[in-house]
Amino acid sequence: MTVSPDFRRQLEGYSLTTAEILYHLPDHPHLLQSFVWQQHDLAPDFPALRRFLAFWQASLDGPVHAVRVAHARLVRPIELRLVSGEFRLH
């Protein structure tokens, strides 16, 4: 059986990371445009996002105004809750 590379990365601690990047339009600097970036990345350092933002700054014309980041672990320990009662049906 072959294991998916994405699943293997999740087991290594990678989580789904979404970044909303607001940037100024090159031709109209007073207007902001939104770009959504999503990839598996390591929180809290986010090396893949940092590489992408460095590429953006070096290669693209629209200067970044703000970045909002959200992430969620897809593979995590099972959550346990204590049961306060038991009901039986016959």
- pLDDT tens, position by position, 14-49: 888 999 999 999 999 999 999 999 998 998 899 999
User: For residue 6, what pLDDT band results from cuts at 50, 70 and 90?
Assistant: confident
Within a domain: 79:
no
Q: 22 lies in which domain range?
A: 5-72
| φ, ψ at 61 (rounded to 5°) | -80, -30
Q: Which band of pLDDT confidence, cut at 50, 70 and 90, is reported for residue 72?
A: confident
Q: How many independent structural domains does the chain possess?
A: 1
Q: Is residue 39 included in any domain, yes or no?
A: yes
Residue 86 lies in a domain: no
Domain-embedded: residue 83: no
Q: What is d(CA 40, CA 90) in angstroms, rounded to the nearest whole number?
A: 48
- Asked if residue 52 is part of any domain, the answer here is yes
Cα separation, 2 vs 45, in Å, equals 29
